[in-house]
Structure 1
Amino acid sequence: MRFPFWASLLAGAAVLFAGSAPATAAPQPVAAAQCLPTGPCAHPIVVKVVIVSLFEIGKDEGDQAGEFQLWKARRGLTQRIAFPQSYHDLYYNPQTQVLGMVTGIGTSRSTAATMALGLDPRFDLRHAYWLVAGIAGIDPQDASIGSVAWARYVVDGDLAHEIDAREIPKDWKSGYFPRGSKGPNDTTTVLDPDGEVFQINPALVNWAYRLTKDMPLPDSPAIKAERLRFTGHPNARKPPFVLEGDQLSAMTFWHGTLLTDWANTWVKRWTGGKGEFVTSAMEDTGVLQAMTYLDKAGRADKHRVLVLRAGSNYTMPPPGVDAASYLLRENEGYAGLEAAVENVYRVGSKVVDAWLADWATFEKSPPR
C-alpha cells in the first residue's frame, strides 16, 4: 500500500526492525526449523500456501490490526520461525502447512523478503501458492473503500523518465513518461515490458474471482458516510464488493484527481489497453519480480501467485475537497482501514480454504 508513516506505524515498525525480544508468552521457533537459513536442510518444511502481508501497525496480535494480525490469529499461525535475513519472523501452521510473512513496506523490502524466503533451504515451496493480501488506495471511478480487487496486471510506476513539470513543453500533460518513449504524448513506441509489467496467471485469477465475486462483505456506517461524499462516482458509493482490477505499484504515496488520471493512462499504456487501474500499492512489483527469478531457479512457481488488495482509502478526494487537505486528513488514519483489513482476509481466506480442501488436485496443477 502507498502508506503514510503515522505515529503508531512508526512505533510498531521500529520495534520490529530493531529486533526487540518477544514477550515471554510468545511461541518459540519450531523444532523443524533448526536448520540454518543459509545451510543445507535434510528435511525442509513443506509449505502449501504463503500469505504475503506487507506491514503490521504495531504488535502481531492484541492491538489495532494491520495486514497480518487476522491471518495470524484466524489461520492458527502460532509457530514462530526465525527469519533474520528479512524484516519480520515467519509464522507457520504445521497442520495446514500455511506460512505467513510480513515483508515490510516498499518494493525494496518486498523484493528482498520474497527472495530470502524463496532461497531459504529450510522450506519446500515448489508447490506452494502465494497470496499477496494487503490494503490499497482505490480509484473511486471503479470501486469503494472496503472493496477487494483481484489484480490481473501489476504495473511498475517507478521506472520512468521525468522532467520537472515547470520545464516541460506546453503540450505535455506531465513530465513523467515511460522509459524508451518520446514523451507522455507518444502512444506508438513499442515499450519493453520486462520489469515494468507483470501479468498474473489469467486462469488462476479468473478462478479466484469466480469463487469470491458474490461474497457479501461487511459494511459500516463510517465507511458508508465517507463513500457517500463521492457524488458523481456511482462505484465509489456502493457497499464493498469484489472485483477484478489492476494495480499500479510504486514507492511514492501519491494522491489527487490528476495523478489518478495519470495512473489510469499509465496502466493502459503499459498493458496495451488491456489493463484497468483500480488499486495503488507499493510492494507488489517487488514480490512478482522476485517470483520470476525464483521460478527460473526452480524454487517457486510464478504461476501460483495471486495479488489481492482491498481499498482502505481513495486515490483522489471527493468533489469540493482539495487533494492536499484530503491526503493530510487520511494521514491521520484511513477511513476504510478496518474494513479493508477484514475484507481482504475474508476474500483471500476463501481461496486459501479452496486450495487446501482439494490439495490432492491443486498440488499437481493450479485451478482453472
Structure 2
Amino acid sequence: MSFISLAQNSNPQANTVSLTSSSSTSAPAHEQTKLKVKVVVVSMFEIGEDTGDAPGEFQLWRERESLDTVYPMPHAHHDVFANEQKGIIGLVTGMGIARASAAIMALGLDQRFDLSQAYWIVAGIAGIDPLDSTIGSAVWTDYVVDGDLAHHIDAREIPDSWNTGYFPLFTHAPYANAENVNVEDSPNGEVYQLNESLAKWAYSLTKNSELPNTPAMDALRSKYQGFPNALQQPVVTYGSHLSASTFWHGDKLNTWANDWVSYWTRSKGNFMTSGMEDSATLQSMSYLHNAGLVDKNRLVILRTASNFTMQPPGLTAAENLEKESSGDGYAAMRSAIESAYLVGSQFSDYILAHWDEVKTAPPSLEK
C-alpha cells in the first residue's frame, strides 16, 4: 500500500538527477542502438530526492545499483535511470492505477530500450493481513486481483440478506456466478495470474533471508493478540495481492478483501497484501506482451509489509488509521523499504549473474 502523505510531497521532475549533474550522465539524444535491458525494477513512489535523503521505494535501488545514466521520460511520471553496463534500469510509476498504467506503457513503447527478454520486478511496500503474516514480511505474489472494478450500493440501502454492497461487475448480488470466473483469461482485468513457476523459484531463492526488524515494530505487532501470525518475526512468504486505488482499512474491509480475492481466484489465491498499482502494471504488460515488446511471464511482484490492513483489538478502524497517518507514520515503513531491496536484489543479482542461462527461458525449480 503506497504511502500517500509522503508520496504527495514528491515532485516527479524534481526527483530526477539533473542531466548536467556530476553524479549522473545523460543518455545520448539519438541512440544508434537500443539498450539491451536484462532487469527492470519498478517502484511506485519516491520521497523528496532520489538520493541522499529519506528513501522511498526507488532510492535504495538508485544508489546501490549505481543507476547513474538518465533517460529523460517527459511522457511519464519520472525519468528512467540505468546502469548500462549491467543492463538494469529503474522506473518510478507514480502512485495509483492511472499513473502506473501510463508509466509502464510509456516505457514499453520507448524505442530506446530493448525489453524483449527483460525480467521485471515490482518491488514496493504494502499493507498486510494480520491473519496471515506480520509487518516487515516480504511476499512474493501469485495472483493480483483488481479491487476497483465492481458495482457498489451503499450499505444503508442493500438487502437485509447481503453482507456487502460491493459486488462484481455483471452480477446482481455479492459473489454471484462464482462458477463462471475465468482465472486464466479474465475478460476485464479483474484477476491476473503471474508465472507461478518463476514466482515460486524467486521465493525459494530468497526464503531464508533475514529481514530487518525494530523495537517499534515489535511494540506494534504485540497489540495484535489473537492473531498468532501477526505476532511473529518478519519472513519471506508467498501469497496474493489486492490492487485498488482506494486506500481502505479495517476489519470489515479486511474480510471483504479475503472474500474478493477468493472469489476472483476461485479459492486458489489467499489475500495477503494490499496495494494500489499492480493490476494496472499487469494490464499494460499484457498489452505490451501481445505486441511482442515484453515477455509478461518474466515479471515478478514483491510486496513488503509496512502496515497492517486492519486495526488491533481495542481500536476502531478510524482510530487506527489516524494513528498510522500522523506522527512517525508506519512503524515498519523503513524496514519494508529496506526489505524490498534486500530480497528483490537477490532476484535481480541472479538474473544479471546468470544471464547466459536465463536469457532464453526463465529459471524454475524444475531446472
Task: Check whether TM > 0.5.
Answer: yes
The percent of aligned pairs where both chains have the same amino acid is: 48
CA distance in 2, matches of 1:186, 1:299: 37
Q: Are positions 1:339 and 2:335 aligned together?
A: yes
Letter in 2 for 1:248: L
Per the alignment, residue 28 of structure 1 pairs with 25
Determine the structure 2 residue equivalent to 1:66: 56
Question: Out of 187, 208, 216, which is 1:214 matched to?
Answer: 208
Residue of structure 2 equivalent to 1:366: 362
Say yes or no: does 1:275 pair with 2:275: no
Q: Confirm or deny: 8 A CA contact 1:2 1:252 kept in the other structure.
A: no
User: C-alpha distance in 2, partners of 1:219/1:56?
Assistant: 22
1:248 equivalent among 242, 259, 262: 242
Q: Are 1:3 and 2:3 matched, yes or no?
A: yes
TM normalised by structure 1 equals 0.94
Distance 1:112 1:26 in 2: 28
TM-score, normalised via structure 2 length: 0.94
2: CA distance between counterparts of 1:109 and 1:225?
Answer: 35
Q: Which residue is 1:235 aligned to?
A: 229
Q: How does 1:105-254 map to 2 (within 5 A)?
A: 105-184=95-174, 186=176, 188=178, 190-191=180-181, 193-194=186-187, 195-254=189-248
Paired residue type of 2:284 = A
Q: Is the 8 A contact 1:118 1:125 kept in 2?
A: yes
* 1:258 maps to 2:252: yes
Unmatched 5+ stretches in structure 1:
36-40
Work out whether residues 212 and 242 of structure 1, in 8 Å CA contact, stay in contact via their aligned partners in 2. Answer: yes
Contact 2:181–2:266 (CA<8 Å) still a contact in 1? no
CA distance in 1, matches of 2:152, 2:87: 45
Instruction: Assess, with a 3 A threshold, how the Cα gap between structure 1 residues 355 and 21 changes in structure 2: closer, same or farther.
Output: closer
Q: Deviations over 1:144-202 (max 9, x none)?
A: 11100001000000000111111100111111001122211525451352211110001
Instruction: Specify every segment of 5 or more residues in structure 2 that has no aligned partner in the other structure, as ranges.
Output: none
Q: Which string of whole-angstrom CA distances, capped at 9 and with x for unpartnered residues, describes residues 47-75 of structure 1? A: 00000000001110111111000001111
SS where residue 280 of structure 1 aligns?
strand
**How far apart are 1:10 and its partner, in Å?**
2.5
Once superposed, which parts of structure 1, at least 4 consecutive aligned residues long, lie more than 4 Å away? 17-21, 23-26
1:102 equivalent in alignment to 2:102: no
**Alignment-derived partner of residue 75 in structure 1:** 65
Quick one: distance in 1 between partners of 2:122 and 2:17? 27
Residue 350 (structure 1) aligned to one of 346, 350, 360? 346
Shift of 1:312: 0.4
| 1:38 alignment counterpart | none
Give yes or no for contact 1:187–1:269 (8 Å, CA) kept in 2.
no
**Is the partner of 2:8 in helix, strand or coil?**
helix
